[in-house]
Copies of this chain bind each other. A is one copy, B any other.
Amino acid sequence: MSLADFQQLIRRMYLEKDVARGVDGTFMWLMEEVGELASALREGSHEQQAAEFADVLAWLTTIANVVGVDLSEAVHAKYGDGCPGCGQLVCTCDDAGKP
């Protein structure tokens, strides 16, 4: 599935509700899912972890829809030419810094 197709799927599924709720309220749901992901990473099965990654991605995507950000364009612009830090395709940034 392309990022654009997934964003469109989530748009069709949730945009009306998420626009009505607004960014702040929708961000709260994203945070709840991030917490569930943390929990699954600690003690969940592979299937539980996969489901929580999907949920975090869905909530992130729905917020992007609300504010009109195209995720595919965004990741291409930031990462399409290599690491934003060092510009390399395999990151060579200092390990102590943000990689």
Residues of A within 8 A of B (CB): 1-3, 6, 9-10, 12-14, 16-18, 20-21, 23, 27, 29, 31-32, 34, 38, 41, 46, 49-51, 53-58, 60, 63-64, 67-80, 82-83, 88-91, 95, 98-99
Contact = CB atoms under 8 A, between A and B. Distances in A.
Q: This chain: how many copies in the complex?
A: 2
A70 to B, nearest CB: 8
15 contacts: A1-B3, A1-B76, A6-B75, A6-B79, A12-B89, A12-B90, A16-B90, A18-B99, A21-B99, A27-B41, A29-B98, A41-B67, A46-B67, A51-B74, A54-B71
Given A12-B89, A50-B78, 5 more contacts: A17-B95, A53-B60, A53-B69, A54-B77, A55-B78
